[in-house]
Amino acid sequence: MATGLTVAVVGATGAAGQTTLRILEERKFPVRELRAFASERSVGKTVAFGGEAVAIRKIEAAAFKGVDLAFCSAGSAQSREYAPMIVKAGATVIDKSSAFRMDPAVPLVVPEINPHAVRTHQGILACPNCTTIVTVMPLKPLHDAGRLTRVIATSYQAVSGAGVKGIAELREQTLAWARGEAITPKHFPHQIAFNLIPHIDAFGPDGYTGEEMKLVHETRKILEAPGLPVTPTTVRVPVFTCHSVAVTAETERKITAGEARDLFARFPGLRLWDDPARNRYPMPLVVEGQDDCYVGRVREDLSSPRGVTFWVVGDQLRKGAATNAVQIAELLLR
């Protein structure tokens, strides 16, 4: 492995963890030594990195001695338990769970949008929710150009956003349907094959789900717009990879569809993919495996004189999780 840092990946066997390993290799991040961690049932198994088989270790304080940087791809409960322990051992933690996102002392970072936020970290930095990242990428240039006054966002979220169990459920249900067998949901509350489920995370007393409120609060924090009105709806769809979001954004200064296209085309990390006459618009099959978020179907809002409507798609395992985390690490190195 290359001369550089000792890097830990916690949750290395999960979908986000596996993608993190792949992104570290693709972007040639300076890893001197990789340490892989997962649940106790995975200890002794291996993951591939740099042409080597790396053994999975047990998560304990002593195992992080000498680690410079740790990527946490576990759940929020695990992150709350492990991240402070890892920081105490001397590492900087980039966490992908919801555990620390709204902590005022923890930067919530999308490198193309608020790179300055990394300067305030106290050992832990947070990645936003995958849907938030895909949504906020095109919102940033609009906000800079015209100041956002309202956002309406409806997301269509792939099953891999629910981890390896979500991927397996869609695959198994699709095969069962093809064989004419009965379908019994296990991971999702309803059948996901050939269906849409407008329910991701628990419902609150106001009728909004936890996933939807993440989009509200995280968007405000990243854009440093604490009073920005955001109305979200999140839907699970039978797609393996990539989250898609239909967005209507209103601004103080009118931004035409043409100006919005220009803003999107020039913004780093966005790719304008907008030629409806040639059936050219973002789709999960086009965007899967890409680090850029693709924006299309750009048009002026018929219901508001200062609104613009668009469709954005991003690979939530890459830019929505692993790529964003590695980009944060690159910022720290700089």
pLDDT at residue 1, rounded to an integer = 42
pLDDT at residue 114, rounded to an integer = 98
- pLDDT, tens only, 167-207: 999 999 999 999 999 999 999 999 999 999 999 999 999 99
Residues 255, 299 contacting (CB under 8 angstroms): no
Q: Name the token pair of 24.
A: 């570290």
242 is catalytic: no
Task: Give CA–CA dist 282/136, Å, rounded.
Answer: 16
Pure H helices in the chain? 15-26, 76-88, 130-146, 164-178, 210-223, 257-266, 284-287, 323-333
Residues 251, 238 contacting (CB under 8 angstroms): no
Task: Give CA–CA dist 130/161, Å, rounded.
Answer: 8
At residue 185, what is the residue type?
P
- pLDDT, tens only, 2-60: 479 999 999 999 888 999 999 999 999 999 999 999 998 999 899 999 999 999 999 99
For residue 250, pLDDT beyond 80 = yes
Query: Per-residue pLDDT averaged across 218-245, rounded?
Result: 98
pLDDT > 90: percent of the chain: 95
The whole-angstrom distance between residue 228's C-alpha and the CA centroid of its chain comes to: 21
Residues 87, 116 contacting (CB under 8 angstroms): no
For residue 214, pLDDT beyond 70 = yes
130 is catalytic: yes
For residue 156, pLDDT beyond 50 = yes
Query: Per-residue pLDDT averaged across 321-333, rounded?
Result: 97
pLDDT at residue 44, rounded to an integer = 87
Task: Give CA–CA dist 214/212, Å, rounded.
Answer: 5
pTM above 0.75, yes or no: yes
Catalytic residue among 72, 130, 242, 293: 130
pLDDT > 70: percent of the chain: 99
Q: How confident is the model at residue 75 (pLDDT cuts 50, 70, 90)?
A: confident
For residue 152, pLDDT beyond 70 = yes
Task: Give CA–CA dist 130/146, Å, rounded.
Answer: 25
Residue ranges with strand state E in the chain: 5-10, 31-37, 46-49, 52-57, 69-72, 92-95, 124-126, 148-157, 230-236, 243-251, 270-272, 293-300, 307-314
Domains of the chain: 5-128+321-333 (3.40.50.720), 131-316 (3.30.360.10)
Strand partners, 310: 247
DSSP state of 277: G
Query: Per-residue pLDDT averaged across 286-299, rounded?
Result: 98
Task: Give CA–CA dist 164/15, Å, rounded.
Answer: 6
Mean pLDDT of the chain: 96
Tell me which residue of 67, 62, 2 sits closest to 29, measured CA to CA: 2
Give ∠ CA 308-313-318 in degrees, rounded to 5.
140
Task: Give CA–CA dist 128/268, Å, rounded.
Answer: 18
Catalytic residue among 121, 143, 217, 243: 243
pLDDT at residue 81, rounded to an integer = 94
pLDDT at residue 76, rounded to an integer = 92
Per DSSP, the three-state class of 310 is strand
pLDDT at residue 334, rounded to an integer = 85
Query: Per-residue pLDDT averaged across 154-167, rounded?
Result: 94
- pLDDT, tens only, 108-132: 999 999 999 999 999 999 999 999 9
At residue 113, what is the residue type?
I
